[in-house]
Structure 1
Amino acid sequence: MLGVSESTLCSAYDLAMLDLDGVVYIGRDAVPGAAGHLDRVRECGMRLAFVTNNAARPPEAVASHLRELGIQADAGDVVTSAQAAARVLVERLGEGARVVLLGAAGLAEALAEVGLVAVSVDDEAEALVTGYGPEVLWRDIMRAAVRVRDGLWWVASNSDYTIPTGYGVAPGHGVLVETLSRFTGVQPLVAGKPQKPLLEETVRRAGGERPLMVGDRLDTDIEGARNAGVDSLLVLTGVTGLAELVQATPAERPTYVAADLGGLLRPHEAPVEGASGWELGGWRAAMSDGQLVVAGDGGADDWWAVVACAAWSHLDGDGGVPDTARLTPPLTVAAAAAR
């Protein structure tokens, strides 16, 4: 169900590929304790790469935000879906190829970095690349849609359906991808998570023979790690909570689970299934009258681990998604800080 690491994860793996929102920061604020955890991870010898599906912001803008939060980072430590999309394009088309650009500054910078020429929607081109861009005009979207329908190759930076903003969760680039796909009957090549190009580009830039993906989303970070063939650590500081964890499909299940980034700094045992349930670190999780219940006492990481294994075992045995109404999860650091 879950993996085992006899040594700390920062020793067992040489590169941490860190998702950002929900892992390192939440909005404009750092996840409590994140900076200190990452300092200790670096001291352990693990390299860090900050990986984002956001194609709008250039790497230096992301790195500047991280430094404001007390996290050591420069532009070379940041890898975006825009860079992954540019890599996909240049490997097929070669330097100097003309590409219609619908997106923001981060995507334009990524194209220029690999020697591609960004052109407007009516110009001669070999491909279209799209990314989140609040200034993209509807008339350009319409023209691009017609060109894709007529055969222009299309690469999308990501397919995230939502995006966090200062005024709430808003439509993301995935809404545009869906709209264009429905009109054209064409599915783009997607560079961002959960597809492989972004993590492959991260390893290419950062190096590392034993990479570990660290994320808070099952359907992008964890599924993306599985698609790329790398292990993953799910942290519970972002969008995944109890309801999402217990119904995770096999493709969305992490190798390890931890309450926060401190999980990189410790070994990981896996829960063991016994006659009375799944046990680890003083906790026991089992089904009782159709409900998932947990008894005992111990650390937060072990609580999440036994719950995950008990729930997935029940789910895989055709028992359906377990009822978790009796469970009260341990507070994550983010939730505790908000109190």
Structure 2
Amino acid sequence: MPTLADRHDALLLDLDGTVYLGGQVIEHVGSVIEATNARGIRSMYVTNNASRPPAEVAEALTAMGVPAAADDVLTSPEAAATMLQQAHPAGARVLVVGALWLVESVRQAGLAPVELVTDEPVAVVQGHSPTTGWPQLAEACLALRAGADWVACNNDTTLPTDRGLLPGNGSMVAALVAATGLQPRVAGKPERPLLDEAVARAGSSRPLVVGDRLDTDIAGAVKAGMPSLMVLTGVNTAADLLAAPPERRPTHVAFDLRGVLDADRVRSLTDTQEPEPHSWRVTVSDTALELSSADSRTGDDLSDGAALAALAALVRQGWASEVTEVRAADDTAAAALRRCGLAA
């Protein structure tokens, strides 16, 4: 049975929740990427993070045991700078609200970064920086009210940190939306410019988007018309997957990144003809999806493939019926639900 690695020539990988979590590499990620790189499959690390340059990200990944060079990392400031470069002539002045990497990205795109509205900028670009305050937002507000173009690196309202979720760039963007009544063009996921640039940089014709978040990684893939793999290693869960609206539905699901190389560790959510390693039946009522098994194996005997087959069967029926509650008809089904993190 062909693997995802057989079908794709590039992996567009999210970072937090997909490659690492809490500053630690997720198990199996390094070995999978080494194996796919050896097969000529390009790994591109595609991140909404607007504060760290690619070389710094690549260095951190390498220190974790994940193969990465600076050219393998694409950040939202680079995509935002490309959007500005395409819309404005060389040397055009751009008011930058963000970190030093955003300033440098604008400069590398042949544009002139400025800080004040009196510099007569033709555009405003906005990315996350922990030092952004009222004075910077005020300058941007005046420039936007004067008719400047507006590009946001991303619209993430929160930023995950070791202290918890803190205000992200989207929260700062929302302040300017409230002050101006305008809306920016957005470079990062779930909008498609970042993914489109990653495909171009990788020289890919068969990319696969890999991520843990339905609202950014998977929604971005859907908007870009690219197949996607949701890994259950980060933010979103199997229960979230069951309730996902059409614009946030992945093509495949796996417990972790091993699903790229091992056909038994991944399941298609769109291919109803895919061979299954286990016989499951899902009965739909008005209130619940009931999972039953034709096999008497215990939970300890269930492979990842069998558990994922149960999840895929539930998801397909859930998406068709819009029923998201689940229950088990037998002990084997109950074991599969537990393995998937689904409360019966």
TM bucket, shorter chain: 0.7 to 0.9
C-alpha displacement of 1:273: 6.6
Q: Structure 1 residues 189, 288: closer, same or farther in 2, change over 3 A?
A: closer
Preserved contact between residue 287 and residue 310 of structure 1 (Cα < 8 Å): no
The runs of 5 or more residues in structure 1 that have no matched partner are 1-5, 332-339
The runs of 5 or more residues in structure 2 that have no matched partner are 329-333
Query: Is residue 2:93 matched to residue 1:90?
Result: no
**How far, CA to CA, are the matches of 1:309 and 1:150 in structure 2?**
54
Q: Structure 1 residues 301, 85: closer, same or farther in 2, change over 3 A?
A: farther
Letter of the structure 2 residue corresponding to residue 100 of structure 1 = L
Residue range with higher mean Cα deviation, 284-293 or 52-61: 284-293
Preserved contact between residue 247 and residue 321 of structure 1 (Cα < 8 Å): yes
Residue range with higher mean Cα deviation, 279-288 or 255-264: 279-288
Q: Counterpart of 1:195 in 2: which secondary structure?
A: coil
Query: Is residue 2:339 matched to residue 1:329?
Result: yes
Residue range with higher mean Cα deviation, 88-97 or 291-300: 291-300
Look up the match of 2:331.
none
Query: Is residue 2:111 matched to residue 1:111?
Result: no
Letter of the structure 2 residue corresponding to residue 59 of structure 1 = P
**How far, CA to CA, are the matches of 1:246 and 1:81 in structure 2?**
29
Look up the match of 1:337.
none
C-alpha displacement of 1:27: 2.4
Letter of the structure 1 residue corresponding to residue 278 of structure 2 = G
Letter of the structure 2 residue corresponding to residue 188 of structure 1 = P
Mapping 1:273-284, distance limit 5 Å: 280-282=276-278, 284=280
Preserved contact between residue 270 and residue 280 of structure 1 (Cα < 8 Å): no
**How far, CA to CA, are the matches of 2:150 and 2:135 in structure 1?**
18
Q: What fraction of aligned residue pairs are identical, expressed as a percent? A: 40
Look up the match of 2:130.
134
Letter of the structure 2 residue corresponding to residue 322 of structure 1 = E
Q: Structure 1 residues 308, 171: closer, same or farther in 2, change over 3 A?
A: farther
Q: Structure 1 residues 215, 273: closer, same or farther in 2, change over 3 A?
A: closer
C-alpha displacement of 1:44: 2.2
Look up the match of 2:311.
307
Preserved contact between residue 280 and residue 313 of structure 2 (Cα < 8 Å): no
Look up the match of 1:26.
21
Mapping 1:77-226, distance limit 5 Å: 77-122=72-117, 123-226=119-222
C-alpha displacement of 1:146: 3.0
Q: Structure 1 residues 135, 305: closer, same or farther in 2, change over 3 A?
A: farther
Q: Deviations over 1:47-90 (max 9, x none)?
A: 11100010111111110110110111111110011110000000
C-alpha displacement of 1:26: 0.7
Residue range with higher mean Cα deviation, 8-17 or 147-156: 147-156
Q: Structure 1 residues 306, 323: closer, same or farther in 2, change over 3 A?
A: closer
Look up the match of 1:3.
none
**How far, CA to CA, are the matches of 2:124 and 2:268 in structure 1?**
46
The higher relative CO (CA closer than 8 Å, separation ≥ 6) is in 1
**How far, CA to CA, are the matches of 2:182 and 2:38 in structure 1?**
47
C-alpha displacement of 1:16: 0.5
Query: Is residue 2:8 matched to residue 1:13?
Result: yes
Q: Structure 1 residues 311, 89: closer, same or farther in 2, change over 3 A?
A: same
Residue range with higher mean Cα deviation, 284-293 or 232-241: 284-293
The aligned length equals: 322
Letter of the structure 2 residue corresponding to residue 260 of structure 1 = D
**How far, CA to CA, are the matches of 2:42 and 2:7 in structure 1?**
12
C-alpha displacement of 1:308: 4.0
Query: Is residue 2:288 matched to residue 1:291?
Result: yes
Residue range with higher mean Cα deviation, 191-200 or 115-124: 115-124
Q: Counterpart of 1:233 in 2: which secondary structure?
A: strand
Q: Structure 1 residues 127, 16: closer, same or farther in 2, change over 3 A?
A: same
Query: Is residue 2:52 matched to residue 1:49?
Result: no
Q: Counterpart of 1:280 in 2: which secondary structure?
A: coil
Preserved contact between residue 149 and residue 185 of structure 1 (Cα < 8 Å): no
Preserved contact between residue 282 and residue 313 of structure 2 (Cα < 8 Å): no
Q: Counterpart of 2:175 in 1: which secondary structure?
A: helix
Q: Structure 1 residues 259, 176: closer, same or farther in 2, change over 3 A?
A: same
Look up the match of 1:336.
none
Preserved contact between residue 246 and residue 308 of structure 1 (Cα < 8 Å): no
TM-score for the superposition, normalised by structure 1: 0.88
C-alpha displacement of 1:35: 0.6
Preserved contact between residue 225 and residue 231 of structure 1 (Cα < 8 Å): yes
Preserved contact between residue 289 and residue 318 of structure 2 (Cα < 8 Å): no
**How far, CA to CA, are the matches of 1:94 and 1:309 in structure 2?**
52
Look up the match of 1:334.
none
Q: Counterpart of 1:85 in 2: which secondary structure?
A: helix
Q: Deviations over 1:223-262 (max 9, x none)?
A: 1111111111111111111221110111111111111110
Q: Counterpart of 1:257 in 2: which secondary structure?
A: strand
Preserved contact between residue 124 and residue 148 of structure 2 (Cα < 8 Å): yes
Q: Structure 1 residues 273, 40: closer, same or farther in 2, change over 3 A?
A: closer
Q: Structure 1 residues 144, 261: closer, same or farther in 2, change over 3 A?
A: same
**How far, CA to CA, are the matches of 2:155 and 2:12 in structure 1?**
19
